[in-house]
Chain A
Amino acid sequence: MDAEIIRLKELAKNIRANIVEAIASIGVGHIGGCLSIADVLAVLYGKHMRYDPENPKMAGRDRLICSKGHAGPAVYSALAEVGFFPKEELKTLNKGGTRLPSHCDMNKTPGVDMTAGSLGQGLSAAVGAAIGSKLSKDGATIYAIIGDGESQEGQIWEAAMYAGSHHIDNLIVFTDYNKMQLDGTTAEINDLEPLTDKWRAFNFEVWNIPGNDVEAIDKAVTEAKAVSGKPKMIVLNTVKGKGVSFVEAAKVGSHSMSVSESDRERALKEIEGGC
């Protein structure tokens, strides 16, 4: 394994530990869907995205819009890890007056590029930002992470149709396909399948990869950046709660769950021991 992949895996591990620390500090949170995207966040913030923690609004920066806004703690965990604010601040998550609210808020958190939380809206904003980037010729790549359950929202497909038909090729979208949503599995509630066919039909270039494998994610992002003329969808086949056994075991129950002090210790030990 080359040094870069080892570094990205270490970063993903740190992001996971930060997620656990943040959510444990308030005792409850959307831990399952946060842990499932730790790896893609590590690959983006650890390698592919152009940004400056000292200047979060830097012109020409690459942007990430986490449309599944309830994964805010995962995004904050990545931002703290790469220096946008002190890691200690993660413990203010969801406490009164915090800069780190449950759902992403661009006006509160340094490094957050769009407010999200009412599901389905972030992808449209990402399309708008991608158009803005093209108009201003700043050469940025706009990344968006959408949820699988979120993909049941009609607006996702409105945005997809426009991006595909207008060849918005500076847009790379990830689906966090952990196959679970609040009320059950996506298959039993409102099945997304055939998901990759849907995105291809909307004129996206599509990758279908193991979503908690930093090497596979890195490879897909590298390839996606090289494709022109089309927007890109990278379907991340993830595990909800990945990296913490009792969160994984909770399955659908991990959407939002309690994390006690003893849970915290157990989870941090597992993350530290894992790779």
Chain B
Amino acid sequence: MEINEKTLMRDVFINFLREKMTSDPRVVVIDADLAKCAGTLALEKEFPDRALNVGIAEANMTGIAAGLATYGYIPFITSFAPFASRRIADQAMISVCYAKQNVKIVGTDPGIAAELNGGTHMPFEDVAIYRAIPDILIYEPTDAVEFAAALPQIFDYPKPVYIRMHRKNPPLVHEPGARFDLMKADVLKEGGDITFVATGLMVKTALDAAARLEDEGISAEVICCPVCKPLDTQTLVTSFRKTGCALTLENHNVNGGLGSAVAEAAAENCPVPMYRIGVREKFGEVGKADYLRKVYSLETSDAVAAAKRVLAVKN
């Protein structure tokens, strides 16, 4: 499909599933009464045998997926991210990952993207939950271009994957047709003074902050890191050795998310002064994304100020 600024992530997702379900009889899609939201409802009509809806029963959805996987099917299960993580933490851990079943778990509307659904639906902990589970890859798409390139690689990855999917159209940071390697972090902009490591919605924020700092003579390297497990430590450490300090940016709790992963990698390989932009000891709340960015200090200005503090420590 042709991708532009208006392309919705969920349309990329549905388009991929439709193609795969057509060409590969192993693909199964399971929803738990949010198929209208994820866009997968259309597939239930097109593939009535292989697009199931179990109703509001996420644990059962996960177990059924695991059972289908034991039969060689490759299930994609979808719900809002809080329910595709904390609600099914034990089923994802035992029936999927511990049992080594190849299930792809899709959690939509991560963090502040939950907007008007508010605190009950606003997961800042989903990545932390999955980071604690062995053998599952965690992928947070940056934009529609990257997501379209990532999905075939995720499909071919023979182990469980958690996809933290924004349903709408976050700004494009990749050129249409850009190449993408699921196992590699992407250096979007080179710089020498500080390394930004960002994921999801915060990649654009990192680029905007880097542009502002550039005007002040500060050169930030911006690394887009959509996969925080397994982490591309090599790319990060190479950059830390060059810049000597780091700032992470995520639409997630700083405890257990990308910031934690990067801090751990830095501490073990190349300790540098750093700060983690992200949600700190707060629950979600209702509001539009712009308001929520203020509440959780996720604005470009927050990143600029934090970068300067980190640079002061370095110097």
Contacts and interface: CB of A to CB of B under 8 A. Distances in A.
Partners in one complex: yes
B70 A114 contact: yes
Interface stretch (A121-129, A249-257, A258-266): A121-129
Interface stretch (B55-63, B137-145, B251-259): B55-63
Interface string A141-182: 000000000000011001101100000000000000000000
Contact of B64 (A105, A120, A154, A162): A162
A155 B59 contact: yes
Interface stretch (A90-98, A130-138, A194-202, A209-217): A130-138
B17 interface: no
A130 B71 CA distance: 9
Interface in B65-88: 65-73
A135 B47 CA distance: 12
B71 A129 contact: yes
Interface stretch (B89-97, B115-123, B164-172, B179-187): B89-97
Nearest to B32: A158
A108 to B, nearest CB: 11
Given A128-B70, A135-B50, A135-B73, A121 B100 contact: no
B296 to A, nearest CB: 33
A127 B52 contact: no
A250 B315 CA distance: 71
A118 interface: yes
B60 A127 contact: yes
A124 B55 contact: no
Contacts of A27: none
A113 interface: yes
B46 to A, nearest CB: 16
Interface residues of A, number: 31
Contacts of B99: 105-107, 114-115
B157 interface: no
A184 interface: no
Given A117-B94, A135-B49, A162-B54, A125 B67 contact: yes
Contacts, number: 103
Nearest to B64: A128
Contacts of A106: 70, 99
Nearest to B73: A132
Contacts of A105: 99
A47 to B, nearest CB: 24
Interface in B190-207: none
Interface in B260-275: none
A117 B63 CA distance: 13
Contacts of A127: 60, 63-64, 67
Contacts of B67: 65, 114, 124-132
A125 B98 contact: no
Contact of A128 (B50, B55, B63, B100): B63
Nearest to A135: B49
Given A107-B99, A135-B49, A159-B63, A121 B70 contact: no
Given A131-B52, A133-B71, A121 B91 contact: yes
B66 A128 contact: yes
A149 to B, nearest CB: 17
Interface of A: 65, 105-107, 113-115, 117-118, 120-133, 135-136, 154-155, 158-159, 161-162
Given A124-B67, A159-B63, 5 more contacts: A114-B99, A124-B95, A125-B64, A125-B95, A135-B68
